[in-house]
A and B are shown apart, each in its own frame.
Chain A
Amino acid sequence: DAGVIQSPRHEVTEMGQEVTLRCKPISGHDYLFWYRQTMMRGLELLIYFNNNVPIDDSGMPEDRFSAKMPNASFSTLKIQPSEPRDSAVYFCASRRGDRGRDPQFDEQFFGPGTRLTVL
C-alpha cells in the first residue's frame, strides 16, 4: 500500500496567487481530513469528508479556502488568493471506517504533507 499521497511536497508562491494542494487517500478509506500545522497553532483540523461529502468545514479559516472531493480517490484544498499567513505544512489524512464502532478503525494515516510558503 502506497499510503496517503500528497502533492506537491513543497510549494513556494507569491501573495495573491492561487494554490492547489492535492491528496490521494488510501484505497478503501471512507474518511479524508485536511489539517494545517504551524509552530504557533499546532495541528488544526480544517475540513473532513465522509464518502466524498464534506461533513465539517468549521475549521476552514475563511472564504479564501475551499476543498473538494470529486471522487473517493482524490481531494483538493485550494487557497485563493494566498497570503503570507497561510504559510504552513498542510497534511491530508485518511481513515478506514466509522468511529466508535471499533477503535481499530479510528487510526488516521497521514500523508507526508505539503510545505507551503507564501512570500
Chain B
Amino acid sequence: RKEVEQDPGPFNVPEGATVAFNCTYSNSASQSFFWYRQDCRKEPKLLMSVYSSGNEDGRFTAQLNRASQYISLLIRDSKLSDSATYLCVVNSWRWDMRFGAGTRLTVKP
C-alpha cells in the first residue's frame, strides 16, 4: 500500500462547480498535512495546511479525519485558474514529507 494515495482524476468540471478531492495515508502517526498545487511544468507550491479542526481559505476548505486517515480539499465556485494538479502531502516523524501522486483538475468555461 502506498504511503499517500489520491485519486489521479482527471476531474473535469464547469466553472462555478464545487469539487472535492480525498487523500488517504497509511501512517497513523502522521503529524502534519498539506495540500500543494502544481501547475503544468512548474514546481509545487503550498496551497494550504490542514489543521485538525478543519480550515478554510476563501473558496478552499480542508478537512482532516484522523480516525479514517484521510484528508480532503473542497473547492467552491471553481475558476478557470484553479486548473492544476493538487498534491496531498503527509509529514511524520519517521519519514519526512511524502507526496501523493496528485489529482488533476480541469475547470472548463
Contact = CB atoms under 8 A, between A and B. Distances in A.
B98 A45 contact: yes
Nearest to A100: B31
Given A99-B91, A110-B44, A43 B99 contact: yes
Interface string A37-50: 00000110100100
Given A106-B32, A106-B91, A91 B49 contact: no
Interface in A20-60: 31, 33, 35, 42-43, 45, 48, 55-56
Interface residues of B, number: 21
B101 A42 contact: yes
A91 B95 CA distance: 18
A111 B43 CA distance: 7
Interface residues of A, number: 21
22 contacts: A31-B96, A33-B96, A42-B100, A42-B102, A43-B44, A43-B101, A45-B98, A45-B99, A48-B96, A56-B95, A91-B44, A99-B31, A99-B96, A100-B32, A103-B32, A103-B49, A104-B49, A106-B91, A107-B46, A108-B46, A110-B44, A111-B43
